[in-house]
Homo-oligomer: A and B are copies of this chain.
Amino acid sequence: MNLDVLVRSENKPLIESILLDMPAPSLNDNTADLDRLSRTMDHLGFSPVRIQPRKMDELVRKMRACMVAPFGEPVPGERRTGSRSGSYAEEDGGNFCFRVVAGCTGTNWEILDIAAWSSDASVFGFAVDLGSTSLAFRLIDITRRKIVREMLVVNPQVARGEDILSRIIFARDREGLAALRDSLVHACSDAMGKMLVDSGISARFVYAVSCAGNTAMSHFFWGLDPSNICREPYIPAANTFPVVSAAELGFDFLPNALLYLFPNVGSYVGGDIVAGVVAAGLNSSTEFRMLIDVGTNAEIVLGNREWLLACAGAAGPALEGGVVERGMQAAAGAIDKVRIDRRTLEPDFHVIGGGKAAGICGSGLIELVAEMFSSKILNIQGKFNTELNCPRIRNTPEGPAYALALAYQTDDEQEMLITEIDVGIFLKSKAAMFTILSLICRKVGMSFDDLKSIYIAGNFGNHVDPEMAVRIGMIPDLPLEIYHAIGNSSLLGASMLTCDRTVLEEAERVRSMITYVELNVNVELMNEFRGALFIPHTDRKLFPSVVLDDE
C-alpha cells in the first residue's frame, strides 16, 4: 500500500531531514557548536530545539566531522533550507554543511542525528499496533511513504493470561508488571530487529516508532500500574504519554528514534481506537461516519469533526471465531467464504491460504449462516429445518448440525460440524452487534440512513462481505458502497503519524472529543436485542434488501 493517500496534510512530516549550511565557527561568531545548531534550526522555524543530554557529544563530533567535508551538491528535491532562507547565504560554499534529522514531539523539535551532506536521506519508521492477542508491525520508508515490510506476531503476554483482565491481575505487583512489560518490549525488539535485517536497513535510520494499543496494553508498555483500569471508578494511571527516545523505553537498538504512544480516552477506549478514528478520518469529516472495530470486543465510534461518541460491547468473540466449537481467527486454514447450493444444499467454501480446513473464522460463519438461511436450512429463529432430506444435515448428541467440511477436507480428518448451538451463540453475537449500532445511533437521534461511511476495521473487516452481513441482519441494510474495510485501523493510524505530524494534534483532539457511552443492560436494550436475534430481524422493514425466495 502506498501511504500517500493517507497523508492529509502535505509537507508537515513528523521527521524532517534538512540540509544545513551555516558559517563555520570563527573568532567573529563564538557561539558554541550546539547553540549554533539550535539557533540555526530556530531561524528555520524548528523551534524550540531540544537535544537529549546523552546525544550531545555524539552530535557535536558529527558536526565537527562534517566541517571539513567537501561541499556537495544539494540532493534534488531536498529542502535545502540553509541557503534558501537567506540568513546563511552570505557564506555560499561555506564549510559547515551537513544533514540534520529532527523529529517533532508536538511541543519541540528533537535533534535525532547529523550526517554528511551527501549521505543517503532515507528516513524510516515503525508503526506498531499493540494488540492484546497480536502485535502488528509495519516498517515504513517515511521519505517515500512506502511500506517496506509488515509482520504479525503473537503477543507473548498471552502466556500470562489470554484475556486482558487476568493480565491486569498478574501485573498488580511490580514484578508481574515488569515481567509483562519486558516480554512485550522483547517481542517488539525481536520483531523490529528481524524486519530491519530482512530489509537490509540499519537501525540507525529508524527515527520514529509510533505505537497504539488499548488502555491496558498502553499501561503494560509504559510500565504503569494497570490495576485501577478494572477497579471502580475505572481511572487509568495515564491517558497521555510524553514523546520519549525509544532507548528510554528499552529499545536500545534504535539509538535515533523517538517513540510515540497514542493517547487513551479512558479505561474503555484506548489509543488503538483513537488511532483508528484518525485513520478512518471521522475527526476531519463533515458527514457522519462510523468506525466498527471488531476485536475481542466490538468497539464503535460514531461522529464527525464536531463530535464523537464511542461505545463497546461483547459482540466480538464469535465474530472473531473465538466462541463456536470450530471457530478460529481469520488466518491460514480458516474457512472464510461459504456458498450453499440452493437445490442440493451442498456447500462450497474457501480456505485462507488454500489447503485443508482447520476451522471457520468470523466472516466464514457469517456467510455460512447467511447461506443456510437463504437455503432454508435455518429458519428466521436460527433453528434447523430437520425435515429437509439432505445428507449434510446430521443429528448429533448436541442436536442438529450441518456438515460444512467432510473428513477428507479438514486437517484433523474430522468432519467439521456446525451445530444449532453454534448458530445460537453466533446469533447472539450478531444481535449484540446490531443492537449496539442501533442504540448508539438512537442516542444521538440519528437513523442509519444518516451514515455516509461505515469503516469496518480489524482482520474481520478485511474478510467480511457486507452483503452477507446485511443478509443476516448484523449490520444495517444500507447501500453496500458505504461499507469500507480498512483492516487494522490502529496500525493504520500509527502509520499515518510516522509521515504526518498533524496526526499528533489530531490524536489529542480526538482523545479529548470522544465521549464514551455506557450501554446499560436495560429494558430498551433487551427488547432491541431480542428482535435482533432473528434472521435478519423480527422487524423486516429494517432489512428491505433481504428478500427471501418465498416472498
Write out the residue numbers on chain B whose beta carbons fall within 8 Å of the beta carbon of A241: 53
Interface size class of A (residues with CB under 8 A): 35 or more
Interface string of A222-244 (1 = CB under 8 A from B): 11110010001111111111101
> Given A56-B237, A60-B224 in contact, is the A30-B266 Cβ separation under 8 Å?
yes
- Residues of B close to A25: CB separation below 8 A: 228, 233, 235
A244 and B33 contacting across the interface, CB-CB below 8 Å: no
Interface check A12, CB cutoff 8 A = no
Given known A-B contacts A224-B60, A225-B61, A233-B26, A35 and B242 have beta carbons under 8 A apart: no
Cβ–Cβ contact A60 & B237, under 8 A? yes
Residues A249 and B53 in contact in the complex (CB < 8 Å), given A60-B238, A235-B25: yes
- The residue in chain B whose Cβ has the minimal distance to the Cβ of A219 is B57
Are B239 and A53 neighbours in the complex by a CB distance under 8 Å?
A: no
CB contact under 8 A between A225 and B32, given known A25-B233, A25-B235, A233-B25: no
CA–CA, A61 to B224, complex, Å? Answer: 9
Contact A237 B26 (CB under 8 A): no
* B residues near A26, Cβ cutoff 8 Å: 233
Chain A binding surface, main DSSP class: loop
Instruction: Kindly state the separation between the CA atoms of A25 and B56 in the bound complex, as whole angstroms.
Output: 41
Minimal beta-carbon separation of A177 from chain B (angstroms): 8
A53, A233, A242 — most chain B CB neighbours (10 Å)? A53
User: Is A34's beta carbon under 8 Å from chain B?
Assistant: yes
Q: In this assembly, does A64 line the interface, its C-beta being within 8 Å of a C-beta of chain B? A: yes
Q: Known contacts A223-B57, A228-B64, A248-B53: does B237 contact A33 (CB below 8 Å)?
A: yes
- Determine whether A80 belongs to the interface, using a CB cutoff of 8 Å to chain B: no
Most buried by B among A177, A235, A241, A267: A235
Q: Are B235 and A57 in contact (CB under 8 A)?
A: no
> How far is A232 from B28 in the complex, measured between Cα atoms in Å?
12
Do the beta carbons of B57 and A242 come within 8 Å of each other?
A: no
Task: Let me know if A3 is at the binding interface, CB within 8 A.
Answer: no
| In the complex, chain B residues whose CB is within 8 Å of the CB of A343 | none
Q: How many Å lie between the Cα of A51 and that of B223 in the bound state?
A: 14
Q: Does A344 contact B (CB under 8 A)?
A: no
Q: B30, B56, B107, B222: which contacts A238 (Cβ < 8 A)?
A: B56
Return the contact of A235 from the options B30, B54, B232, B233 (Cβ within 8 A).
B30
Q: How far is the CA of A61 from the CA of B171 in the complex (A)?
A: 13
Contact B56 A224 (CB under 8 A): yes
Q: With A26-B233, A53-B244, A223-B57 in contact, is A33–B266 under 8 Å at CB?
A: no
Smallest beta-carbon distance A391→chain B, Å:
57
Contacts of A242 in B (CB 8 A): 50-51, 53
Q: Which residues of B contact A222 (CB under 8 A)?
A: 53, 56-57
Asked whether A27 is an interface residue with its Cβ less than 8 Å from the other chain, the reply is yes
Q: Which residues of B contact A329 (CB under 8 A)?
A: none
When the two chains form the complex, which single residue of B35, B61, B238 contacts A239, counting CB atoms closer than 8 Å?
B35
B residues less than 8 Å from A267 (CB atoms): 30
Contact in complex: B238, A34 (CB < 8 Å): yes
Interface assignment of A31: CB less than 8 Å from any CB of chain B? yes
A44-88 vs B: 1/0 string, CB under 8 Å? Answer: 000010110110110011001000000000000000000000000
Q: Which residues of B contact A107 (CB under 8 A)?
A: 48
Q: Tell me the A387-426 residues at the B interface (CB within 8 Å).
A: none
In-complex Cβ contact of A33 among B30, B54, B232, B235 (8 A) = B235
In whole angstroms, what is the CA distance A56 to B241 when docked? 10
Task: Report how far A268 CA is from B516 CA in the complex, Å.
Answer: 61
A488 at the binding interface (Cβ < 8 Å): no
User: Is the C-beta of A495 less than 8 angstroms from some C-beta in chain B?
Assistant: no
Q: Is the CB of A32 within 8 A of B237?
A: yes
B225–A54 touching, CB < 8 Å: no
A296: interface (CB < 8 Å): no
In the assembled complex, the Cα of A242 lies from the Cα of B177 at a distance in Å of: 32
A60 proximity list for chain B (CB < 8 A): 224-225, 237-238
A223 contact set on B, CB distance < 8 A: 56-57
A374 within 8 A of B: no
Using CB atoms, name the residue of chain B closest to A265. Answer: B30
Contact of A32 among B35, B48, B64, B238 (CB under 8 A): B238
Q: Which residues of B contact A459 (CB under 8 A)?
A: none
Verify A54–B248 contact, CB threshold 8 A.
yes
Contacts of A240 in B (CB 8 A): 32, 34-35
CA distance A26 to B228 in the complex (A): 12
> Closest 4 interchain pairs by CB?
A25-B235, A32-B239, A60-B237, A34-B238
Which residues of A come within 8 Å of B, CB atoms?
A: 25-27, 30-35, 48, 50-51, 53-54, 56-57, 60-61, 64, 107, 177, 222-225, 228, 232-242, 244, 248-249, 264, 266-267, 516
